[in-house]
Structure 1
């Protein structure tokens, strides 16, 4: 288990969960919607926002920030922007892996 303050899976740890990786590369809006749902946002609305330029960046940054905040992960808005813009699919997989980690507070939500 990773220390508090860091991601449990690295940005380029896409293949830590091969199933999530494949789904994200084929249907990234689905992974984004599920990530959003885990932090209390609407899966459908965020999945739809994924297709609207500008709004998608705002939504992606918002969800990533909420995940970091809930898990106590160190990071900044600028780091989030770089991860999302430069390696978008990897950032989505990293967020999904963080949510799916055993013992994660996200798993307890229904």
Structure 2
């Protein structure tokens, strides 16, 4: 399950985006739920509650591991060779959730920039003759 693309955002780059950093620091389960919604359309509220409940018994890293793997599959991202997804979600979950939120945001920005800068195709309307239907041959 190794991707070919590098991450746009680093694990320790929380201060690159203050809004994601604050959201992730104060409302980690909510940011996890928000990310899950954007990754594969899971219910944000349910994922937030799941993360919160599992945090109380130190198991929140398990659903996070699966969501991180889905994110890597979605964008064909490489796994961190030094610690991998398992250790990242187990030991650095809040930082990883913030990294994932920034990654999603940066990937969406690049798609929007590509869409805005792509050429516009304009075509002339087809004139129809009376009594001739273009769909009927």
Answer yes or no: same fold by TM over 0.5: yes
Aligned residue pair count: 101
Please state if 1:28 is matched with 2:33: no
**Counterpart in 1 of 2:46?**
45
Q: Which runs of 5+ in 1 are unaligned?
A: 106-110
Matches within 5 A, 1:79-90: 79-90=84-95
Output one character per residue of 1:36-87: Cα deviation in whole Å (capped at 9) or x when no partner: 00022111111000123366322111111111001010117x6111111221
* Rounded Cα–Cα distance in structure 2 between residues aligned with 1:36 and 1:55: 17
Flag as ranges the 4+ runs of structure 1 deviating above 3 A.
none
Aligned-pair RMSD on alpha carbons?
1.9
* Rounded Cα–Cα distance in structure 2 between residues aligned with 1:104 and 1:17: 19
Secondary structure of the 1:52 match is: helix
Secondary structure of the 1:93 match is: helix
Q: Which runs of 5+ in 2 are unaligned?
A: 113-137
Secondary structure of the 2:17 match is: helix
Normalised by the length of structure 1, the TM-score is 0.82
Normalised by the length of structure 2, the TM-score is 0.67
Partner of residue 61 from structure 1, selected from 65, 68, 78: 65
**Counterpart in 2 of 1:10?**
10
Describe the shift of the 1:104–1:97 C-alpha distance in structure 2 as closer, same or farther (beyond 3 A): farther
**Counterpart in 1 of 2:98?**
93
Describe the shift of the 1:90–1:60 C-alpha distance in structure 2 as closer, same or farther (beyond 3 A): same
